[in-house]
């Protein structure tokens, strides 16, 4: 039996999000029904609600940084019980059979992962709706445990911003003795700084904004590098082992490649709307690598959450009621958030 669930949805690409009632799919034997306490606001929510990436299907309920408590379980659920603190990230299912899924890299599922919203379940028919709502029903295999010592609200952004930065830093073995640059100090970037520092690397924020130095230092950076300052860029030339770019604005790759030492790596997790130009001479000279990364699989995301629990790492957030979501979107466009909006879903009951 389907459940009626209060939500906020985009009904088209141009109008503000508004209250909406959706039908959640019926609880299956291996499903859990999660009462959503908090949902982080990712910039991709805005991109998809406004169809800036194309392919939006309306009504569209954004939200893939979901935390809450299990309120009901299916008859065959074995991993969770009612009342458990849990989270749901960017993906809610995958084929589970391809080589990527077999290697715990479900985000790269070769048959197509089921994303938490603006996607479909694995039947390729049932639409998925995100976390700007009261509850979500999903398979237990894609649900994550939240460490007891972490604030639920501040944990929500870890389900996207956290794993998006943790995964490439782990994959490329960032650790002590390395110099790492984080390009951009926003929702993704501030988590990149926290993780790179926690892994033992000497970490710098690469930014166009000199006034962000104090924030960078407080988050664990050694200092900042102002990318529009030629002297600053020259001082740090050929010195970084790895640079993680979190920005979605267009930029010149050559400027950042010049900062890498031989065999250095430039990894992007930001997605500019326009293609970037790459001069292969900048890569060949120094045997440098340009690569990308997308979130993480369920096993690695749980590893990240457990690491955050051990190190007491969480996001820096601004808590908002759902009624302020359209204002929050406008502020995100202006960069006016330090560093992640999180929706208190209790506010949905005040509609």
pLDDT digit string, tens, across residues 201-240: 999 999 999 999 999 999 999 999 999 999 999 999 999 9
Q: What angle do CA 72, 24, 40 make, to 5 degrees?
A: 85
Reply yes or no on whether the pLDDT at 248 is more than 90.
Answer: no
The stretch 40-48 carries a mean pLDDT of 95
The stretch 271-286 carries a mean pLDDT of 90
Q: What is the pTM of this model?
A: 0.96
Q: What percent of the chain has pLDDT over 70?
A: 99
Q: What are phi and psi of 16, to 5 degrees?
A: -60, 155
Write the pLDDT tens digit of every residue in 299-315. Answer: 999 999 999 999 999 99
Other Cβ atoms within 10 Å of 284 Cβ, number: 9
d(CA 139, CA 340): 27
Cβ pair 239, 209 in contact under 8 A: no
CA dihedral 154, 155, 160, 163 (to 10 degrees): 120
Reply yes or no on whether the pLDDT at 243 is more than 70.
Answer: yes
Domains, in order of start, for the chain = 3-160+316-350 (3.90.180.10), 162-292 (3.40.50.720)
Helix (H, G, I), strand (E, B) or coil at 39: strand
Write the pLDDT tens digit of every residue in 88-104. Answer: 999 999 999 999 999 99
Give the confidence band of 170 by pLDDT, cuts at 50, 70, 90. Answer: very high
Please report the beta strands in the chain, taking only residues with DSSP state E, as ranges in sequence order.
3-9, 18-24, 31-41, 66-73, 85-88, 91-93, 114-115, 135-139, 144-145, 179-183, 202-207, 223-226, 240-245, 260-268, 289-292, 317-321, 340-344
219: left (phi over 0), alpha (psi -120 to 50) or beta: alpha
For residue 90, which of 192, 188, 193 has the smallest C-alpha distance?
Answer: 188
d(CA 351, CA 279): 53
d(CA 8, CA 320): 14
Cβ pair 161, 65 in contact under 8 A: yes
Q: Which residues contact 280 (CB under 8 A, 6 or more apart)?
A: none
Cβ pair 94, 54 in contact under 8 A: no
Give the confidence band of 275 by pLDDT, cuts at 50, 70, 90. Answer: confident
At 3 the pLDDT is: 78
Q: Which residues contact 111 (CB under 8 A, 6 or more apart)?
A: 94, 95, 97, 98
Say if residue 76 is exposed, middle or buried (CB neighbours under 10 Å; 0-12, 13-18, 19+): exposed
């Amino acid at each position: 039996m389907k459940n009626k669930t209060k939500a906020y949805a985009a009904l088209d690409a141009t109008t503000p999000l508004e209250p909406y009632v959706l039908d959640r799919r019926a609880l299956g034997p291996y499903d859990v029904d999660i009462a959503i306490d908090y949902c982080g606001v990712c910039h991709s929510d805005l991109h998809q609600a406004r169809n800036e990436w194309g392919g939006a299907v309306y009504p569209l309920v954004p939200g893939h940084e979901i935390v809450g408590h299990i309120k009901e379980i299916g008859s065959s659920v074995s991993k969770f019980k009612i009342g458990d603190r849990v989270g749901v990230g960017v993906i809610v299912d995958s084929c589970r059979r391809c080589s990527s899924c077999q290697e715990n890299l479900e985000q790269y599922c070769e048959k197509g992962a089921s994303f938490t919203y603006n996607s479909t379940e694995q039947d390729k028919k049932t639409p998925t709706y995100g976390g700007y709502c009261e509850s979500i029903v999903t398979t237990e295999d894609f649900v994550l445990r939240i460490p007891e010592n972490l604030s639920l609200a501040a944990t929500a952004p870890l389900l996207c911003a956290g794993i998006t930065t943790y995964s490439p830093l782990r994959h490329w073995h960032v650790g002590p003795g390395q110099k790492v640059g984080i390009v951009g100090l926003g929702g993704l970037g501030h988590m990149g700084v926290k993780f790179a520092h926690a892994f033992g690397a000497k970490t710098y924020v690469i930014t166009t904004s000199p006034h962000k130095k104090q924030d960078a230092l407080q988050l664990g950076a050694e200092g900042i590098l102002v990318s529009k300052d030629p002297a600053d860029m020259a001082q740090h030339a050929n010195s970084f082992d790895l640079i993680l770019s979190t920005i979605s604005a267009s930029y010149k790759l050559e400027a950042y490649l010049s900062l890498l030492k031989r065999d250095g790596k430039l990894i992007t997790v930001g997605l500019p709307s326009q293609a970037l130009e790459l001069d292969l001479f900048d890569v060949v000279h120094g045997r440098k690598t340009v690569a990308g990364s997308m979130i993480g699989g369920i096993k690695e995301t749980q590893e990240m959450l457990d690491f955050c629990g051990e190190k007491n790492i969480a996001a820096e957030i601004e808590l908002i009621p759902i009624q302020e979501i359209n204002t929050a979107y406008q502020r995100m466009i202006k960069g006016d958030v330090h560093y992640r909006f999180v929706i208190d879903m209790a506010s949905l009951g005040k509609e």
